[in-house]
Amino acid sequence: MPSLTPNPAAPVRASGTFTVGTRRVHRLGFGAMRITGPDVWGEPPNADQARSVLREAIRLGVDFIDTAQAYGPEVSERLIAEALHPYPDGLLIATKGGITRRDRHDPGRPDGRPERLRADCEGSLKRLRVDTIDLWQLHRIDPDIPLEEQIGTIRELRDEGKIRCFGISQVTVEQLEHVRTLIEVATVQNRFNYADRAGEDVLAACETHGIGFIPWYPLATGRLAGPGSPLAQAAARHHVTPSQLALAWLLHRSPVVIPIPGTGSIAHLRENANAALIQLTSHELRALDATSADD
């Protein structure tokens, strides 16, 4: 199926903006997980291509890049600095810490020990070549460490000027409310996409409190993109792919949503960016919202 012709004039700017802390960014960002090796482990097959993807993201208007210490580990952050430092004005780079991985088959385990959180932050500062991390996110809450200790360390890093804003990942509404009693929360990063909307309640809480909601795995559509489905029909009407339509749906879903589709391909990056140009009608949105994986 043909997709929108790549627009050289920064198409992501059509996505609107959201303010993270005091920084206004366009709501279609870039997730830097896929610029590493297979299973987000080790070096990418082609490091020059990975750096080219990052530079093309900036050319397309991306001013929000999300990465993590665990991506590689450390590889994604290093490639970002190699490709983009000194960073263009207005670029916000978010990273994460608090996850330990042993090998490419290990999805990661929470490690919220204060010394680990501090080491992750310090390491990210060096790899990204910055004095302050714009948005530092706790990758997972460690159930074995008192939350007050984890957040206390993060507050110290913020007070030392090493972190500007704080975000949290993969939380329930109850956890988010607890964290908010300990520190100001700028963003939440939870799994959320057209096929998996289990995080609707967390998204609603973010809307209530003006917190940015960063959906990871944003392009998943599952069987909801099958022939004759509302998603497939809408994609055909707009002459785009179902994945582009699913990304456009996320952008229309809430003004606090900041999707971060990731890829190691420039062609796929351009396709994702042009999803910001898709304008969905109220009728289409109602049909798309009414469809769920349980149907």
Determine the pLDDT at residue 31. 97
Determine the pLDDT at residue 86. 98
pTM score of the predicted model: 0.94
Q: Is residue 1 part of a domain?
A: no
Contact predicate 163/132, CB 8 Å: yes
Domains contained in the chain, number: 1
Determine the pLDDT at residue 13. 84
DSSP 35: G
Q: Is residue 251 part of a domain?
A: yes
Determine the pLDDT at residue 10. 66
Rg (CA), the chain: 18
Tokens of 171: 């939380």
Domain that holds residue 128: 11-290
Output the CA angle 257-187-127, nearest 5 degrees.
Answer: 115
Express each pLDDT in 152-208 by its tens digit. 999 999 999 999 999 999 999 999 999 999 999 999 999 999 999 999 999 999 999
pLDDT beneath 70, residues of the chain = 1-10, 292-295
The position carrying tokens 């952050």 is: 77
Determine the pLDDT at residue 257. 98
The position carrying tokens 């009693």 is: 181
- Of 59, 100, 60, 55, which Cα lies nearest the Cα of 81? 55
Determine the pLDDT at residue 227. 87
Annotated catalytic residue 87? no
Determine the pLDDT at residue 293. 52
Determine the pLDDT at residue 223. 79
Q: Is the dihedral of CA 44, 87, 259, 279 positive or negative?
A: negative
Can you tell me whether residue 2 is helix, strand or coil?
coil
Kindly report the CATH number assigned to the domain that includes residue 215.
Answer: 3.20.20.100
